[in-house]
């Protein structure tokens, strides 16, 4: 049993996800004795908002976690690889938003609506999955439980905020440049993103898939706890600021009608069904931005195979795809007595 509220640190507190983590801790009234904002030396001394308070950002060092019980990391893989073990050594539990620990067999990869029980075997580090994976498995899990998924084909339409603040600024600048008759400039992406779609997210691998696509494949199997699920992905960056969209085709062992799937998803935790084509009601990024739920719609039977379903899944990639999922993990740790308090 927890006898006191934890001391919480947010690593990468000046970034888009770090700021959202701070906001989410406030919105969800996460119990805390103290919250510390940590970032690189160049951000040290700057200020970030935490509800009605203003926190002064402290420089991240190997000694930053003395007296800290829980650390939410969103500062990139290399930072996590260096500092997460330091945090654990100090008796702190880490929830890491980078890809550094996701496929480590000793590290749970958790979406609380899907596999919260995996938190019971953590050794100090818990990995937050990729944003595009999180929203997909929230919708896949109830379907898998009902009819067992055999295969998934997913195409994503991912917002620029998934790349970070510099990408948001680049899209803004390019739109202004083009509307003013100027030639657009790009440095974040290999091609112009304004009024364009880029079928490349992250680097290409030897199998000709991108790293982002293989993240979805491997992470889904780990989170769902089923290596037999076959999955193929095409991930695309689109000129949207917030909200990842996914067109998902599912093949199941047992037949599910669209009506049955809709009923199952309507009862699923973290899911909001928006599915009334006659009234032009379906998930869109502009509806999901700033919301916590994963939106699912366009649920229909795939007429090309015997047991197939199509659906469209949308979520705010900064919230459910990152900050919210991390805080939800922390809530489960606290609720189940899995957060070690120094």
For residues 177-202, b (16+ Cβ closer than 10 Å) or e, as one string?
eeeeeeebebeebeebbbeeebebbb
Query: What are residue 56's DSSP bridge partners?
Result: 47
Beta strands (DSSP E) in 58-213 are 58-59, 70-73, 93-96, 125-127, 149-158
| Spatial CA neighbour of 53 closest among 5, 12, 13 | 13
∠97-243-83 over CA atoms, to 5°?
A: 10
What sign for the dihedral angle of Cα 320, 326, 329, 330?
negative
Provide φ and ψ at 21, rounded to 5°: -60, -45
Chain center to CA of 43: 24
131 annotated active-site: yes
92 annotated active-site: no
From the candidates 32, 122, 144, 244, which is the catalytic residue? 244
Residue 85, CA atoms < 13 Å, CB-side half-sphere: 6
Alpha helices in 99-246, H assignment, sequence order:
131-147, 165-179, 211-224
Query: What are residue 89's DSSP bridge partners?
Result: none
Alpha helices in 180-322, H assignment, sequence order:
211-224, 258-266, 285-288
Task: Report residue 49 as tokens.
Answer: 């908002």
From the candidates 32, 92, 131, 144, which is the catalytic residue? 131
Q: Which sequence positions are flagged as catalytic?
A: 131, 244
């Amino acid at each position: 049993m927890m006898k006191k509220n934890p001391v919480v640190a947010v690593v990468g507190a000046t970034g888009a996800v770090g700021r959202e983590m701070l906001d989410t801790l406030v919105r969800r009234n996460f119990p805390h004795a103290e919250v510390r904002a940590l970032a690189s030396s160049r951000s040290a001394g700057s200020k970030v908002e935490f509800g009605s308070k203003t926190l002064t950002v402290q420089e991240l060092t190997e000694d930053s976690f003395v007296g800290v019980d829980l650390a939410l990391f969103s500062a990139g893989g290399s930072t996590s690889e260096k500092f997460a073990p330091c945090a654990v050594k100090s008796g702190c539990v880490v929830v890491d938003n980078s890809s550094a620990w996701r496929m480590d067999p000793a590290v749970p990869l958790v979406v609380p609506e899907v596999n919260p029980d995996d938190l019971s075997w953590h050794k100090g580090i818990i990995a937050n999955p990729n944003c595009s994976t999180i929203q997909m498995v929230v919708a896949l899990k109830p379907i898998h439980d009902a009819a067992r998924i055999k295969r998934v084909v997913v195409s994503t339409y991912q917002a620029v905020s998934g790349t970070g603040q510099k990408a948001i600024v680049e899209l803004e600048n390019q739109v202004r440049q083009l509307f003013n008759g100027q030639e657009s400039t790009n440095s974040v992406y290999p091609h112009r993103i304004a009024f364009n779609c880029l079928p490349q997210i992250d680097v290409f691998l030897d199998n000709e898939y991108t790293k982002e696509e293989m993240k979805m494949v491997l992470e889904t199997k780990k989170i769902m706890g089923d290596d037999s699920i076959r999955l193929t992905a095409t991930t695309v960056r689109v000129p949207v600021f917030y909200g990842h969209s996914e067109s998902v085709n599912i093949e199941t062992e047992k037949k599910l009608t669209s009506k049955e799937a809709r009923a199952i998803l309507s009862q699923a935790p973290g899911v909001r069904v928006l599915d009334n084509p006659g009234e032009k009601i379906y998930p869109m990024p502009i509806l999901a931005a700033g919301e916590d739920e994963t939106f699912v719609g366009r649920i229909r039977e795939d007429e090309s195979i015997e047991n197939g379903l199509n659906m469209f899944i949308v979520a705010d990639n900064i919230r459910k795809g990152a900050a919210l999922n991390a805080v939800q993990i922390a809530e489960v740790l606290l609720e189940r007595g899995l957060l070690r308090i120094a």
